[in-house]
Every structure is written in structure tokens, then in C-alpha cells.
Amino acid sequence: MILALSLMLAQTLGASNYAVDAPMAVPVAAPSFADEFNGDAIDDATWRYDTERNAAGWYNHERQYYAKERPENARIEDGALVIEARRETLSKDQHPDWGGQQYTSARLVSRAGYGHGFYEIRARLSCARGTWPAIWMLPPDGIWPDAGEIDIMEMVGWDANVVHATLHSGLFNHRLGTQRGAQIEIPDACTEFHRYQLDWTRHAITIGVDDRAYMRVANDRPGGKGAWPFTRPYHLILNLAVGGDWGGKEGVDDDAFPQRMAIDYVRYWKSGD
């Protein structure tokens, strides 16, 4: 039985293209949760700053220090959340967890977890070589990749205006080269705001931009949780990384800093499925 399942999985793990072209409909009801970023400061009841890996260094060999409550790196400006990456050197006197990084930025994580439903995040991205803006989701606990990851939007500056949507799980992840996803080119992703959308149900995860889906992964593969761990609420993450195995593949353009990602709003409609 185990051998049969292993052979079945081996026949399906190689699939990598989950591209679709289909409409996405924003719910007509009021959102279950929304942050319009219209206040004077980031709402610390809604968001927390993730600084856990500053001293040890961040995953994927990223090169940034994620600051906490530092307006140079995260602030409300003109009705939007601005996450700004800067090339600068800090000091341990003022920042005891500083790990010697030459870049600063911010990584905000929702305090609440959100599950099945429709998500819309209106954002303008950063395109400089070496930057890595992301809007994504992780569960509150568990080991990666077994616990799952939903990448609503990722873009690397050396491949500007190409936006990626990806799912990771124990059986389908980039370490194995089996991650499930798709990509789309948005020619003005770094100069204009676009609406990055996720429709998450128990049957499928669909990701799109501006009411048009470009990726869909169905919950129809063998492997149980290894194929589909997306059964509980995840936390939403907004960050702008610098460098890393993917983001820094073509180096970092130091002369382009500071760089910003702006989030106009975050909206979520909970579904009962």
C-alpha cells in the first residue's frame, strides 16, 4: 500500500504549472476584517513586528534587519502602509538584536489568523534589483514546509513586474522543486497600485490580480496533509526583504535604495465553507 502510494505521488510531483485565466469576484458584503491604513500609526492590536531572526540571520540568506516600531522602515503615509528598505548600518547600542546587516526593513504579521475566505490586498511594489516584496501567509505553528505556506504575491527586483503565486507543503515545495504555482507579468506593478487576491476554500486555492485569476491549485492530490495542509487559519505577512537566494540572485543595486512597498488596504471576507 505504501509503495503504491509512493509511486502514485512520484507520478504527480513533477507538475509545476497551475496557470489559469478566469474571473475572480470580490464579495459584495462588507469585509469581515479590514485595515484601510487611514490612521496616524500602525495598529499594534492588528499587526506585530517580526524580529525573531535578526541576530541569527533571516531565512534564505536574506540580508535585511527587520526593525520594530521604527518609522524609517514602517509607517502610515498618505493613507497607506509604507514598508521601506534602506541601506544603512545600525549599532548594537540602540538595537541589541542587530546582527551586522547592512540593510533595514520591516516585516509585519497579523495578530489574528484568517482561514477560508476571500482576501484582497491593494499594493504598489518595489522593483529595484535585490529587493523581494511579498504578501503571504503562514500557520501559527508547525515546521516548514509541512505546515504549509501560501504566497499571494512575491516579486524579485531583478525580474521586475513578474508576480508569482505559489503554494508550499511537505510534498510540494521549492526544496524538492515541486512547488505549485504560476506567474503573471504586470507591466506597472511598481508604479501603480494593484489588487492582489486570494480565494481560499477547502476545495481549491485561487490567486489573481485585479479580478482575474492566474493560478489555481485544487485539493485533489494524494498525500493527505503532505499535499494539503491548508485546513486552519494562517497569519498574513507583509514584508520587503533584501537579497537572499532568490531575491539576491542577480546581486543588490545599492544605489537604488531606499525602496518602498506601499499597501493601500488589507481586506478579508470570511466564508463558511
Q: How many residues belong to the chain? A: 273
Whether 149 sits among the annotated catalytic residues: the reply is yes
Q: Write down the catalytic residue from 84, 88, 154, 250.
A: 154
14: alpha, beta or left? (left if phi > 0; alpha if psi -120 to 50): alpha
CB 76 within 8 A of CB 209: no
Whether 154 sits among the annotated catalytic residues: the reply is yes
Q: Write down the catalytic residue from 120, 149, 192, 250.
A: 149
Question: Secondary structure of the chain in the HEC alphabet?
Answer: CHHHHHHHHHHHCCCCECEEEEECCCCCCCCCEEECCCCCCCCCCCEEECCCCCCCCCHHHECEEECCCCCCCEEEECCEEEEEEEECCCCCCCCCCCCCCCEEECEEEECCCECCEEEEEEEECCCCCCEEEEEEEECCCCCCCCCCEEEEEECCHHHCCEEEEEEECCCCCCCCCCCEEEEEECCCCCCCCEEEEEEECCCEEEEEECCEEEEEEECCCCCHHHCCCCCCCEEEEEEEEEECCCCCCCCCCHHHCCEEEEEEEEEEEECCC
Residues serving a catalytic function are 149, 154
